[in-house]
């Protein structure tokens, strides 16, 4: 299958039903709680516990580890993330973060490691787990890691600092990506309470509702069997970029759905502002850019689903979404005029969250 081969955009019956369920949850739960959670700078009480009932983490875990054992599907995962992000970017990312850990272990771990590390997550209640890749360097490049690991007698010792780690302060297990001396990028499962591991929650411009932390590893020692032997950094990054793009697409769809009826109803000089050419063109451009974002993301996920190379498609999707998501967020505020500058208006919240799309790496592995 070459780059020009078309891909099927039709949904299966199972995907259609699942999307309807996720969209209802996004509308009735996430959208309703988003503003209060952002103002509080914290997740609503028992939010993650109730979100666990959707089974997002449990479904892909093998039956041998206590999970549902459903077949891994990057395409289905991407659709779930897109639908949830329509409700709220930040809350959706908090919900899917443990599944990013699960997917990484399924991709890069042995069967024994899958059983060992995923069994604790196969519970009815929510169990936090995460992936730590981002570092606090300008123009961060995943292949040039400052976090270092070295071989010791019976394991590995890790030194470094990770930034923007979702659920980093509460995660029971954390997949830490570090440069292993003499080998290159490697992934290690670090458990909560490990000596030398510390985390400090940080407050950012966006993503205020979810817990984002700076994680420090000061000589953290992990056993030999905590290293995932089949780790592929590029695959992890590419799958995570698809997930981040899905968050952007869902949130930008929320912007479009909100501003379109507003410009039709809002009147100035005796007529709806939608009649003004500059306003109509701006809304049209949001729609065009959003469709480009969606098609690039869906194509990358489709190729990943089929086991084809998808590095190019994931990269293009990420470049497009990082640029256009900020533009759509900005234009959403602009279309609302002074109303868009008021904190009670959801577009300012979406604007702040969408600014994070160009920063996130390795946080939403599909």
Instruction: List the chain pLDDT tens, one digit each, 366 residues.
Output: 455 556 677 888 888 999 999 999 999 999 999 999 999 999 998 899 999 989 899 989 999 999 988 988 999 999 999 999 999 999 999 999 999 999 999 999 999 999 999 999 998 889 999 999 999 988 899 999 999 999 998 999 999 999 999 999 999 999 999 999 999 999 999 999 999 999 999 999 999 999 999 999 999 999 999 999 999 999 999 999 999 999 999 999 999 999 999 999 999 888 999 999 999 999 999 999 999 999 999 999 999 999 999 999 999 999 999 999 999 999 999 999 888 888 888 999 999 999 999 999 989 999
Contact between residue 159 and residue 135 where contact means Cβ atoms under 8 Å apart: no
What Cα–Cα distance (Å) separates residue 52 from each residue in 40, 94, 323, 335? 22, 11, 32, 36
Give the residue ranges of DSSP H helices in 306-344: 311-336
User: What's this model's pTM, rounded to 2 decimal places?
Assistant: 0.94
* CATH class entry, domain 233-354: mainly alpha
Q: With b meaning 16 or more CB within 10 Å and e meaning fewer, what string describes 17-53?
A: ebbeebbebbeebbbebbbebbeeeebbeebbeebbe
Selected from 3.40.50.2000, 3.40.50.170, 2.40.110.10, 2.30.30.280, the CATH number assigned to the domain covering 130-226 reads: 2.40.110.10
Answer positive or negative: Cα dihedral of 301, 302, 307, 309: negative
The boundaries of every CATH 1.20.140.10 domain in the chain are 233-354
Q: Which residues pair with 364 in a beta bridge?
A: none
> Domain 13-127 adopts which CATH fold?
Butyryl-Coa Dehydrogenase, subunit A; domain 1 (1.10.540)
> Could you tell me which of 124, 125, 92 has the C-alpha nearest to residue 25?
92
């Amino acid at each position: 299958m070459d780059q020009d081969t078309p891909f099927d955009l039709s949904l299966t019956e199972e995907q259609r039903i699942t999307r309807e369920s996720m969209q209802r949850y996004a509308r009735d739960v996430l959208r309703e709680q988003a503003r209060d959670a952002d103002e509080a700078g914290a997740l609503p009480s028992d939010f993650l516990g109730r979100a666990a009932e959707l089974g997002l983490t449990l479904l892909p875990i093998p039956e041998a580890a206590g999970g549902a054992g459903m077949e891994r599907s990057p395409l289905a995962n991407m659709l779930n993330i897109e639908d949830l992000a329509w409700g709220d970017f930040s809350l959706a990312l908090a919900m899917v973060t443990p599944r990013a850990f699960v997917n990484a272990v399924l991709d890069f771990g042995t069967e024994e490691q899958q059983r060992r590390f995923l069994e604790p997550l196969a519970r009815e209640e929510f169990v936090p787990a995460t992936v730590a890749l981002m570092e606090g360097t300008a123009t961060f490049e995943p292949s040039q890691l400052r976090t270092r690991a070295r071989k010791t007698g019976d394991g590995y010792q890790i030194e470094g600092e990770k930034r923007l780690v979702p659920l980093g302060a509460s995660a029971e297990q954390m997949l830490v990506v570090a440069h292993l001396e003499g080998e290159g990028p490697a992934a290690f499962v670090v458990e909560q309470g490990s000596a030398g591991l510390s985390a400090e929650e940080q407050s950012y411009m966006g993503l205020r509702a979810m817990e984002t932390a700076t994680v420090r590893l000061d000589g953290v020692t992990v056993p030999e069997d905590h290293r995932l032997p089949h780790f592929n950094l590029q695959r992890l990054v590419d799958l995570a970029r698809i997930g981040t793009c899905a968050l952007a697409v869902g949130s930008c769809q929320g912007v479009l759905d909100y501003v379109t009826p507003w410009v039709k109803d809002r009147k100035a000089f005796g007529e709806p502002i939608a009649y003004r050419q500059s306003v109509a063109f701006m809304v049209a451009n949001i729609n065009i850019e959003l469709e480009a974002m969606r098609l690039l993301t869906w194509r990358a996920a489709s190729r990943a689903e089929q086991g084809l190379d998808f590095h190019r498609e994931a990269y293009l999707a990420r470049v497009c979404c990082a640029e256009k998501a900020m533009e759509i967020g900005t234009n959403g505020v602009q279309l609302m005029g002074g109303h868009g500058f008021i904190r009670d208006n959801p577009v300012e919240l979406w604007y702040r969250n969408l600014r994070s799309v160009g920063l996130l790496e390795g946080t939403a592995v599909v």
